[in-house]
Amino acid sequence: MNVRDISVNRPTVKDIANALNLSISTVSRALNKKGKLSPKTIKSIESKAKEMGYLPNYIAKSLRSNITYTVGVIIPDITNPIFPSYARGILDTAVKNGYQVHILNSDMDIEKERAALRSLLSKRVDGLILTSTNLSDKELSALRDKDIPFVVTRREIEVRNISYVDVNNFYGGYIAGEYLIERGRKKIAFIGSRFSGEPARKRLRGFIRAVERHNMIVDKKLIIEGETSIEGGYEAAKEAYKKGADSIFAYNDIMAIGALAFANDQGLKLPGDFSIIGFDDIYLSSLPFIKLTTIRQPMYYMGSKAFSVLFNLMASKESKVYKIWIKPELVIRATA
Amino acid sequence: MNVRDISVNRPTVKDIANALNLSISTVSRALNKKGKLSPKTIKSIESKAKEMGYLPNYIAKSLRSNITYTVGVIIPDITNPIFPSYARGILDTAVKNGYQVHILNSDMDIEKERAALRSLLSKRVDGLILTSTNLSDKELSALRDKDIPFVVTRREIEVRNISYVDVNNFYGGYIAGEYLIERGRKKIAFIGSRFSGEPARKRLRGFIRAVERHNMIVDKKLIIEGETSIEGGYEAAKEAYKKGADSIFAYNDIMAIGALAFANDQGLKLPGDFSIIGFDDIYLSSLPFIKLTTIRQPMYYMGSKAFSVLFNLMASKESKVYKIWIKPELVIRATA
DNA sequence: TTGTACGCGTTATCAA
DNA sequence: TTGATAACGCGTACAA
C-alpha cells in the first residue's frame, strides 16, 4: 500500500468536489461557511463530507494561513508534583480556545531547553510558554525580537517587554513569616536551596520583611541550605533544631515534608512544640498523614492564566506586555 | 505589520537561494544532504542558513511528506498521580526519536475523548496512544481500519489486530495475595471500585487465584466496594475491619492510603495487627509517613514502551500487532 | 452563486 | 553539479 492511497481514508476537499461535481473552492467555502452559497449546495456538501468522514487537514490550513493553533510549552519536569496541575491548567484553557499543546521537558538543563525551543520553532507553534526558563536575558530578548509571542512563568524577568506570570513569592514569604510570628514563634528558621534561585530569594526576603515589621531580627545562622528533597528537608530541619529553632519556614512543601519527618522522628508535637510551614500546597500536603500548613500557589490557575495571556498576545497585532503576580494564600492545617 | 512580513524573521529556502543566487532545489538538497553538490556550494549554503537563522518549516515538510513527526496522546487526567511519569516516559522516548507529543485529557468522558481524537486526527498526527480508552470495540475497529497506527494502554483489547501495552494485572493481584498469605494472613479483604473496570477485575481474579492455590477461599463479604479516593479507601477499610478482616489488598495506592489512615486512627500496628498492600507505587507511597507495601506498576517504562511500540508501528508498512504485558513487582515497605 | 488560478514552503522528478 | 517545475491540501482574490 502506497502512502498516497490513504486518501481512501482521508478525503480532501478535492475528493468531495469530485464526488459532487463542484469546484474545490465551493466546497471549501461551504465547509468554512464563507461567502454566499445556495443552501442546497451547502447541505449536499456537508452531508457528503460527513459521509466520507472528512476532517480538515490542519497541516495544509496552517501552511496557508500561517496559524497552527498549537502552542509550545517547556516545563522543567512534568513529574515534579507542582507541575501536573499547572500543565492541566494550560491544556484545559488551550483546548477551550481551540489550541493544542506541545509539551517538552527541559530538566533545568539549558541545552535541553534550547533544543526544545528550536524544535518548537520549527514546528511553527503560534506561541510559547516558558516555565522556569534558564534562557539568558539576552536570549529572551532575541526571542522577543522574533515574531513569536511568548509568556514566561515562574521567573520574573528584568527584560522589558516580556510578559510573565508568576506567583508573588515575596508576598508568600511575608504571610508565612507573619503567621508564624502571630503564633508566638521567636526563632524561625528558613530552609531552602541555594540552587532554587530567584523564587527562593524572594520568599526569604518577604519572610525577613515580616519578621522585621515585628521588630525582630532573623538569625542568619537559621537560614539553612539543603537539597530540595525530602531528605534535604530532613537534614536541614535537624540542623535548624540543633541551632535552637522553634519553627521552620521551608522553601517548598517537599522540604517541609522532610522537616516534618524529622519532627516526627524527634517526637515533637506540632504545632505545640514546633511549627512547620511549607510553600506550594502540592497534593501530598493535604494527606491525612501530613496535613501540612503551607502557602498555596494556585498552579492550575497559573497555567490557565499563562495560556490566557498568551492567547491575548497571539490575538492582538500590537505588542502588549502583561506582568502578572498571582497572590498565594495561607492554608492552615496541622503543622503550624 | 503584516503577517507576510514575518519572513524577515523566518527565512525560507527561497530567501537563502536568493541571497546566494542559487536555485531553491540546490539549497534544499544542501540542507538535507541529498544528491551530489560541490562542497563549496554546500558550505556557503550552510553558513548562510546559519547566518539568517534558518529553521526548516515542518508544516511545509509535513504537507509534502505526509509525516508530521507528531504523535497524539490521550490520557484521562495528567494530575492523577499515576500518570505524570507515564507521560514523561512517552515524552522522553518520543523526543529521543525526533517526535513531538500532543497531550489531551479525556477525564474518562467518552465525548471528550471523541473530540480529542477528532482534533488529533485533523492535526494529522502520525500515530496515537490511547490510555484507558472508553472507545467501544467497534470504534476501535473503525480506527484500526484507517491508516493511522495506534497503541492502546491500560486496557486489554478483545478486538484482534490492535496493539496494546498494559501491566499484567492478574499477575499483580496474584503476587499481592501470595505475599499476604505467606505472612500468615487468613482473612484478606479486597477493596476496590465498581467503576474501575477491567483492571480491578483482573487484580481481584489474580488475588483469588492465589488464595485458592493455598486451599483457602475468599470470603465474598470481604470484597468491598468504595470510591477510588482516600476517603473511599478509609470507609472501605472501616467496613472490612468491622467484618473481621485481618488485612487488605487495595485496588490502588490511593485507596490503600485511605485504608492506612483508618488503621492509624484505629491505633492498629502494621504489619503486626493488620496488613495493607496497595497497587501502583505512586510517589506518595514511598514517603516516610506512609511506607506503603505495594505492587509497583512501572509507569515510566509503560509510557516509554508504548511509544516504542507505536514507533515500530509507524515505521513498518506491514501491520504488525504487539500485545505486551508488563510484569508488576512487589515492593515491600512497612504496611505488610 | 459558482469556478479558475495562485501561493503558502518543501521536496522529488526531470531536464540541462 | 545545478535548475525549473509540479505537487502536497487549502483558502482567497478575481472572474464569470
Nearest CA in chain A to B99: A119
Least confident piece of the model among A205-219, B33-47, B170-184: B33-47
Q: Which of B58, B144, B150, B238 to mutate to test the interface with A (most CBs of A within 10 A)?
A: B58
In whole angstroms, give the CA distance from residue B186 to residue A140. 64
Q: How far is the CA of A94 from the C1' of D12 (A)?
A: 28
What percent of chain B shows pLDDT beyond 70?
A: 96
Q: What is the pLDDT at residue B159?
A: 76
- The DSSP output letter for B147 is S
Rg of the Cα atoms in chain A: 26
pLDDT band with cut points at 50, 70 and 90 for residue A288: confident
Contact criterion met (CB < 8 Å) for A100 and B104:
yes
In whole angstroms, give the CA distance from residue A88 to residue A300. 6
Q: What pTM did the predictor assign?
A: 0.90
B32 touches strand C (CB under 7 A): yes
B135-163 pLDDT, tens digit per residue, is 998 999 888 887 789 999 998 777 778 99
* Top-confidence residue, B316 or A127: A127
pLDDT band with cut points at 50, 70 and 90 for residue A124: confident
Looking only at the bridges linking them, the beta strands covering A247-250 and B275-280 are: unpaired
Q: What are phi and psi of B290, to 5 degrees?
A: -115, -55
In whole angstroms, give the CA distance from residue A166 to residue A324. 6
Q: Average model confidence (pLDDT) for chain A?
A: 91
Nearest CA in chain B to A94: B104
Q: What is the pLDDT at residue B198?
A: 80
Q: Supply B261's cell numbers.
A: 489512615
A312-323 pLDDT, tens digit per residue, is 999 886 778 999
Q: What is the pLDDT at residue B195?
A: 58
Decide if pLDDT at B8 tops 70.
no
pLDDT band with cut points at 50, 70 and 90 for residue A102: very high
* Top-confidence residue, A90 or B198: A90
pLDDT band with cut points at 50, 70 and 90 for residue A101: very high
A191-204 pLDDT, tens digit per residue, is 998 756 788 899 99
Q: How far is the CA of A64 from the C1' of C7 (A)?
A: 8
Q: What is the pLDDT at residue A114?
A: 95
Nearest CA in chain B to A87: B78
Q: Which of B103, B283, B316 to mutate to test the interface with A (most CBs of A within 10 A)?
A: B103
Q: How far is the CA of B3 from the C1' of C8 (A)?
A: 12
Q: How many residues does chain A have?
A: 336
Contact criterion met (CB < 8 Å) for A230 and B288:
yes
B55-97 pLDDT, tens digit per residue, is 899 999 999 998 999 999 999 999 999 999 999 999 999 999 9
Candidates B151, B155, B166; CA nearest to B309 is: B151
In whole angstroms, give the CA distance from residue A36 to residue A198. 57
Rg of the Cα atoms in chain B: 26
A142-183 pLDDT, tens digit per residue, is 888 877 899 999 987 777 789 999 999 999 999 999 999 999
A61 touches strand D (CB under 7 A): yes
Q: What's the gap in Å between the CA of B147 and the closest CA on chain A?
A: 6
Q: How far is the CA of B25 from the C1' of D1 (A)?
A: 12
A138 touches strand D (CB under 7 A): no
Q: What's the gap in Å between the CA of B216 and the closest CA on chain A?
A: 34
Contact criterion met (CB < 8 Å) for B58 and A124:
yes
Nearest CA in chain A to B287: A230
In whole angstroms, give the CA distance from residue A38 to residue A296. 57
Candidates A257, A80, A249, A273; CA nearest to B288 is: A257
Q: Which residues pair with A150 in a beta bridge?
A: A128
Contact criterion met (CB < 8 Å) for A9 and B146:
yes
Q: What's the gap in Å between the CA of B165 and the closest CA on chain A?
A: 21
Instruction: Tell me the domains of chain A and their CATH numbers.
Output: 3-55 (1.10.260.40), 68-167+300-327 (3.40.50.2300), 169-296 (3.40.50.2300)
- Taking residues A76-98, what's their average pLDDT? 95
pLDDT band with cut points at 50, 70 and 90 for residue A35: confident
Q: Which of B79, B87, B261 sits opposite A288 (nearest CB)?
A: B261
pLDDT band with cut points at 50, 70 and 90 for residue A9: low
Least confident piece of the model among A274-288, B24-38, B249-263, B293-307: B24-38
Question: Which residues 6+ apart lie within 8 Å of A102 measured at CB?
Answer: A70, A71, A72, A73, A120, A123, A125, B70, B100, B101, B102
Q: What is the pLDDT at residue A147?
A: 75
- Taking residues B231-258, what's their average pLDDT? 96
Decide if pLDDT at A8 tops 50.
no
What positions of strand C are covered by protein, i.e. any atom < 7 Å from a CB?
A: 1-5, 7-13
pLDDT band with cut points at 50, 70 and 90 for residue A37: confident
Decide if pLDDT at B7 tops 60.
no
User: How far apart are the two ends of chain A, measured CA to CA in Å?
Assistant: 67
Contacts with A105 from chain B: Cβ below 8 Å: 88, 91-92
Burial, A194: exposed, middle or buried (Cβ in 10 Å; 0-12, 13-18, 19+)? Answer: exposed
pLDDT band with cut points at 50, 70 and 90 for residue B5: very low
Candidates B322, B328, B327, B280; CA nearest to B129 is: B322
A38 touches strand D (CB under 7 A): no
Q: Which residues pair with A249 in a beta bridge?
A: A190, A277
Q: Average model confidence (pLDDT) for chain B?
A: 91
